[in-house]
Structure 1
Amino acid sequence: MKVTFSSFTQTCINKQKSCGSFSTAHLYGCAAHSFSEYLGRDTIRFGDITTQALKLYEKYLIRTSHSFNTISTYMRMLRAIYNKAIMAGLARFVFNLFHDVFTGIDRNHKKALDESNLKEILTGEVKSLALKRVQLMAAAMYRLCGMPFVDLQHLGIHSVVDGVLKYNRQKTGSCVNIPVNRNVCKLIKLLPVSDLDLSTESGYKRYQSLLRNFNAGLKRLAKAFGVKISISSYTFRHSWATNALHHHVPVEVISSALGHSDIRTTQIYLKGFDAEEIGKANSKVCKCLNVR
Structure 2
Amino acid sequence: MCEYLGRDSVGFGEITPRLLKSYEQYLIRGRHKLNTISTYMRMLRAIYNKAVDAGHTKYIHHLFHKVYTGIDRSHKKALEMPQLRVLLNGVVRSRVLNKVQQTACVMYKLCGMPYVDLQQISMDSITDGALSYCRRKTGTSVNVPVNGDILRTLRDLDLGNSDMNTESGYRRYQSLLRKFNAGLSRLARKLGIKGHVSSYTLRHSWATTALHSHVPVELISSALGHSDIRTTQIYLKGFNVGEIEKANRKILRYMDGR
The question of whether the paired residues in 2 share the 8 Å contact of 1:175 and 1:259 is answered with yes
Q: Does residue 61 of structure 2 align to residue 95 of structure 1?
A: yes
State the alpha-carbon separation in 2 of the partners of residues 205 and 138 from structure 1: 21
Is the counterpart of residue 272 in structure 1 residue 238 in structure 2? yes
CA distance in structure 1 between the partners assigned to 2:230 and 2:136 by the alignment: 20
Structure 2: tracts of 5 or more residues without a match: none
Contact 1:154 1:193 in 2 (8 A): no
| 1:125-164 → structure 2 map (5 Å cutoff) | 125-164=91-130
Q: Number of matched residues?
A: 255
> Does 2:77 align with 1:106?
no
Taking a change above 3 Å as real, the CA distance of residues 212 and 241 of structure 1, as seen in their structure-2 partners, is same
TM-score, L = length of structure 2 = 0.85
Q: Distance in 1 between matches of 2:131 and 2:47?
A: 39
TM-score, length-scaled by structure 1: 0.76
Secondary structure at the residue paired with 2:199?
Answer: coil
Q: Deviations over 1:128-168 (max 9, x none)?
A: 10011101100000011111112212334333211222222
Matched, 1:178 2:144: yes
1:115 and 2:81 correspond: yes
Check whether the contact 2:12–2:48 (CA below 8 A) recurs between aligned residues: no
Distance 1:83 1:228 in 2: 40
The percent of aligned pairs where both chains have the same amino acid is 57
2:204 aligned counterpart, secondary structure: helix
Q: Please give the alpha-carbon distance, in whole angstroms, between the structure 1 residues aligned to 2:159 and 2:230.
A: 31
Structure 2 counterpart of 1:49, from 16, 24, 27: 16
1:244 aligns to 2:210 (yes or no): yes
Say if 1:210 and 1:281 are closer, same or farther in 2 by CA, change over 3 A: same
> How big is the shift at 1:88?
8.4
- Of structures 1 and 2, the one scoring higher in RCO (CA 8 A, sep 6+) is 2
Name structure 1 gaps, 5 residues minimum: 1-30, 38-42
Question: Which residue is equivalent to 2:167?
Answer: 201
Greater gyration radius: 1
Deviation at 1:54, TM superposition (A): 5.2
Post-superposition offset of 1:87: 6.8
Q: Is the 8 A contact 1:168 1:174 kept in 2?
A: yes
CA change 1:239–1:58 in 2 (3 A) is same
Q: Aligned-pair RMSD on alpha carbons?
A: 3.0
1:167: which partner in 2?
133
Contact 2:207–2:235 (CA under 8 A) maintained in structure 1: yes
